[in-house]
Amino acid sequence: MLNEMTSKRREYYKVRYKANRNKILSRIRAYQKTHKKERNAYERERRKIDSKFKLNGDISGLIRRSLKGNKNGNHWEDLVGYTLNDLKKHLEKRFTEGMSWDNHGLKGWAIDHKILIAAFNFTSPNHRDFKRCWALKNLQPMWAKDNQEKSNKLDKPFQPSLLI
């Protein structure tokens, strides 16, 4: 019964959002401009205590940068074909000694691409190289210091499509 009510409520809000999208977005943008300090403080604190929130923000930002802002408002999960929980489990399986969700970040570990983002040639999330670049098997946790040293350097030329 509760699930049915939730589903109906969700559908109601989807229809309402579609009908009033521009009005709702302009209200949200206005609020965000006038409450920037509060939002930033809230998000900073939440990133400290909620590992899923931090991971979600990190992966979303990485994907947005790799697409040079061409996400077109899509959620990153819809673009890559896996969920936040899938990503979290995948990374946890590959943690090395000392890695935990408490030390995820600049002074701990970061998400690394086995085959560098720079090695792929894509401009949209529909491109097959985008899918290969962001596939789970191309992602791994790596100590941030080692990841920064690795940077965007390729030891030798190769064709990523042949490797994945």
Reported as a pLDDT band with limits 50, 70 and 90, residue 14 is confident
Backbone angles phi, psi at 142, to 5 degrees: -145, 145
pLDDT score at 38? 94
Mean pLDDT to the nearest integer, 48-67:
93
- How many Cα atoms occupy the beta-carbon half-sphere of 88 within 13 Å? 13
**Which band of pLDDT confidence, cut at 50, 70 and 90, is reported for residue 24?**
very high
Looking at every residue in the chain, the average pLDDT score rounds to 88
Model pLDDT, residue 2: 58
Rounded Cα distance, 110 and 108, in Å: 7
Q: What is the pLDDT of residue 158?
A: 57
Residue 23 has pLDDT above 90, yes or no: yes
Give the total residue count for the chain. 164
- Residue predicted with more confidence, 58 or 2: 58
**Tokens encoding 150:** 């690795």
Report long-range pairs for 127-131 (Cβ below 8 Å, ≥24 apart). 128/161, 129/160, 129/161, 130/66, 130/67, 130/79, 131/80, 131/81
More confident residue, 163 or 114: 114
Chain Cα centroid distance, residue 63: 6
What's the pTM? 0.74
Tokens representing residue 54 in the block: 């931090």
Q: Where are the domains of the chain?
A: 35-163
Collapsed DSSP state (helix, strand, coil) of residue 50 = coil
Q: CA separation (Å) from 72 to 12, 15, 76, 125?
A: 24, 20, 10, 10
